[in-house]
Each structure stands twice: as C-alpha cells, then as structure tokens.
C-alpha cells in the first residue's frame, strides 16, 4: 500500500512524552499514528468513546486549565 507524508501540529512536551512511552512499547510515533488510523478505519470512527462531559467533569477540566487543584508531576511518576 502506498504511503504519503503528512504533518501534524502537536504540543512539543506531549510529543516528547508520547515518544518515550511509545519507545518503551517498541514503536515509534509514525507507527502509532498508523495503528490509530487503522483503528479509525476498522471501527468507522474514533476507536474510543467520546462524550460531552457532565457538569462536574466540565468544572474539573476548567480548573485544571487554570491550574487550580492540580499537582505538578511527571509522566514517570504515573508508572
């Protein structure tokens, strides 16, 4: 199957952390994007549930964006 080149705009820090995680899984970012794209085709949509958040979740998201009630931690601390 023919491959094409595309470009994405992604937050630098998120991309860096994603590459570290993907590397620990034995794959690179391009491979992960290909897996995600294949899953979209297979499921005929996003391969996960997308919902409009309820009031509480919306409030928590809003606070997180403002830095309220958020602890500073690294991705490594989540392992």
Residue 57 CB neighbours (<10 A):
11
Three-state DSSP class for residue 24: helix
Reported as a single tens digit per residue, the pLDDT across 6-55 is: 999 999 999 999 999 999 999 999 999 999 999 999 999 999 998 899 99
Nearest to 28 by CA among 39, 45, 15: 15
What residues does each domain of the chain span? Answer: 12-71
Provide φ and ψ at 41, rounded to 5°.
-65, -45
At residue 75, the pLDDT reads 78
At residue 74, the pLDDT reads 80
At residue 64, the pLDDT reads 87
Asked if residue 73 has pLDDT above 80, the reply is no
Token couple for 78? 């989540």
Distance CA(19)–CA(55), nearest Å, equals: 33
Asked if residue 59 has pLDDT above 90, the reply is yes
């Amino acid at each position: 199957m023919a491959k094409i080149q595309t470009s994405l705009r992604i937050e630098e820090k998120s991309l860096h952390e994603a590459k570290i995680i993907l590397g620990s899984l034995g794959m690179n970012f391009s491979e992960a994007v290909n897996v995600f794209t294949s899953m979209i085709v297979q499921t005929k949509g996003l391969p996960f549930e997308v919902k409009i958040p309820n009031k509480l979740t919306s409030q928590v998201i809003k606070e997180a964006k403002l830095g309220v009630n958020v602890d500073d931690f690294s991705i490594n601390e989540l392992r």
